[in-house]
Amino acid sequence: MEIRQWVVKGLRAGIVTTPYPAAQETASGVSPGIPCAVSQMSESEGARLVEICPTGAIESENGEVHVDLRRCIHCFRCGWESEVHVGWEKTYEWAQFTPTGKSHAWPKGFSKSLHIRVVDAGDCGACLAEVKQLNNPYYNMHRLGFFLTPTPRNADILLVVGPVTDQMRRPLRETFEAMPTPKLVMAVGSCALTGGVFGPSIFSGSGVGNLLPVDVEVPGAPPPPLAILHGLLVAAGRKDPASGTAASLGCVENQAG
């Protein structure tokens, strides 16, 4: 009786898996989105935005406003500033290779099934929670061949979240050393890329790149599960990374939402 009720429950709940990566996900609430620049912005508006952004993610040059996604912590101060009209795009494909990662030779035949060792190097909890959502029926990364593994010996990808606090430096380094080649390091979240609001300080670093050779970066605070999924697919070579340089993302003119 007990087993049967669970089977019925599971069958009745149906399939809720996202169509991504075959098609784009259109449900709302799956991504916090990114600020995208309206192509022509006055110098004062640009200066205002640069002033507002607490991490210096917004840079302005001749009215052309660039957003360095690696620094964006999704505080929305630029979006809710009433004087400046900032576009907002609900995308989630943000992952990119680092310059060293681009030339990373990933053996053929490795892309079908990858095992991931997740290391929490001081993360606030949100990035780790989003990584954990990857196993839920909505995103279900198992269908794409990604698995979490408890031992670095079986791992192909080292997924690091957090700015790398001082007391996690050695365990993180140990994990990286314990993984056999070929291996990939993926830094997820703005803290892991640039240290977020916590670093650099004596106790907290400014990103994984200072300790390990990072290959794939997924910006966001936190990057939603779809962004992390895109990052994994980029790492596996099954999806293209976000186009454009890391520093700027041109986007379709869009009203703030």
Partner 1 sequence: MSSLVETASRAEQNWPGQVHGWVDRRKPVSELRCKGLAVLPSVAKWLVSELNYRLAGIIVEELAQEWEVRYLFYLEQQQGWTHIVVRPPLEVKTLPSITSEVHAADWHEREIEDLFGITFEGHPLLGDFILHNDRWQEAMAPMRRAFDPRAALAERKPDLDWRPRTIVEGPGAFAMPVGPIFSGATEAVHFLLETVGEDVIRAYPRLFFKFRGIEKLAEGKSIDSCLLLAERFSATTAFAHAFAFSQAVESICRTRVPSRAQAQRVFLAELERLRHHMGIIHEICESTALAVATSQAAILEEELLRISGTLTGHRYLFGLAIPGGLAKDLPDFACIQAVEGCQRIVDRLLELDQMLRYSSSFLDRIEDVGIISPEKAREFGLVGPIARASGFADDLRKAQPYSGYERISFDVPVEKEGDGFARLRILVAESVQAVRIMARVPAMLEPGKVRETISPQAGVALGWAEAPRGAVFHWLRLGPDGLVSRFRLITPSFVNWHGFHLAAEKFAFQDFPIILATFGLSVAENDR
Partner 2 sequence: MLFLVSVFFVLGGLGVAASVLLPERIAPRIILSVGSIASLIVCVVGAKGLVTEASFVATLWTLPTIGTLTLTVDHLSSLFLVVCGIIYLATSVFSVRYLDRYSGRFSLRLFAVVYHLLWASVVVILLAGDAVLFLIGWEAMSILAYLLVNFQTVRDEDTTAGYLMLGMGEAGFLMVAVAFLLLGNHAGGLDFGSLRAAAPNAGMGLRWGVFLLSFFGFAVKAGLFPVNRWMRGVYAVAPASACALLSGVLLNLGIYGIVRVTGDIAPVPSLGPGLILLIVGTISALVGILYANRENDMKTMLAESSTENMGIVVAGFGAGLVFLAAQLPMLAGIALIASLYHMMNHAIYKSLLFYGAGAVDATTGTRDMDRLGGLIKSQPWIAGFFLVGILSISALPPFNGFVSEWLTLQTLLQSAALAPAGVKVVFAVCGAVLALTAALAVTCFVKAYAMSFLGVPRSNGTKQNGHVHRSMRAAMGFLAALCLISGVLPTYIIPVLNRPVSRLIQSNATPTLVPPFFAPNTGSQPLPPAFVAEFHDLGAQVGRSVLPGPGLVVLHRGGATNPVVFAMSTSYMAVVLALLLGVAALVIYGWVARRTKRVRKPVWAGGLRPLLPELTYTATGFSNPVRVTFNAIFHPTEVEDTSETVARHFRMAIRKSFEEVHVLDRLFYRPIETAAERVAGAFAKMHHGRLNAYVAYVLLSLLAVLLLGRYI
What does the binding site for partner 2 look like in residue numbers (CB under 8 A)? 151-153, 170-172, 174-175, 177-178, 180-181
Selection from partner 2, partner 1, none that 106 binds (CB < 5 to 8 A by kind) is none
Total residues interacting with partner 1, rule: CB under 8 A: 66
As measured in angstroms, the least distance from the Cβ of 144 to partner 1 is 17
CA neighbours within 13 Å on the CB side: how many for 29?
1
9 touching partner 1, by CB under 8 A: yes
Residue that is written with structure tokens 């365990």 in the block:
171
First vs last C-alpha separation in the chain: 48
- Cβ closer to partner 2: 83 or 177? 177
Among 154, 203, 238, 253, binds partner 1 (CB under 8 A): 203
137 counts as binding partner 1 under rule CB under 8 A = yes
* 10 contributes a contact to partner 1 by CB under 8 A: yes
What tokens does 12 get? Answer: 């009745």
Query: Considering beta carbons, is residue 231 or 241 the nearer one to partner 1?
Result: 231
Of 213, 217, 221, which is closest to residue 187 (Cα–Cα)? Answer: 217
Quote the least distance from Cβ 106 to partner 2, whole Å: 16
82 binds partner 1 (CB under 8 A): no
Contact 81, 250 (CB under 8 A): no
Among 91, 98, 204, 206, binds partner 1 (CB under 8 A): 204
Interaction mask 145-184, partner 1, x per CB under 8 A: ---xxx-----------xx-xxxx-xx---x---------
Residue 249 in contact with residue 242, Cβ under 8 Å?
yes
Coil, strand or helix: which one is 216?
Answer: strand
* 8 A C-beta contact, residue 81 and residue 54: no
Residue 232 engages partner 1 in binding (rule: CB under 8 A): no
27 binds, among partner 1, partner 2, none (CB under 5 to 8 A by kind): partner 1
CA 75, CA 249: separation in Å to the nearest integer?
Answer: 18
CA atoms within a 13 Å half-sphere pointing along the CA-CB vector of 240: 3
C-beta closer to partner 1: residue 171 or 237: 171
Regarding 197 and contact with partner 1 (CB under 8 A), the answer is yes
Report helix angle 126-133 to 225-236, nearest 10: 70
**Residue 233 vs residues 67, 75, 96, 157, 217: alpha-carbon distances, Å:** 24, 27, 11, 12, 12
The residues that touch partner 1, with contacts defined as CB under 8 A, are 2, 5-7, 9-10, 13, 16, 27-33, 54, 73-77, 79-80, 118-126, 128-133, 135-138, 148-150, 162-163, 165-168, 170-171, 175, 196-199, 201-204, 221-222, 224, 257
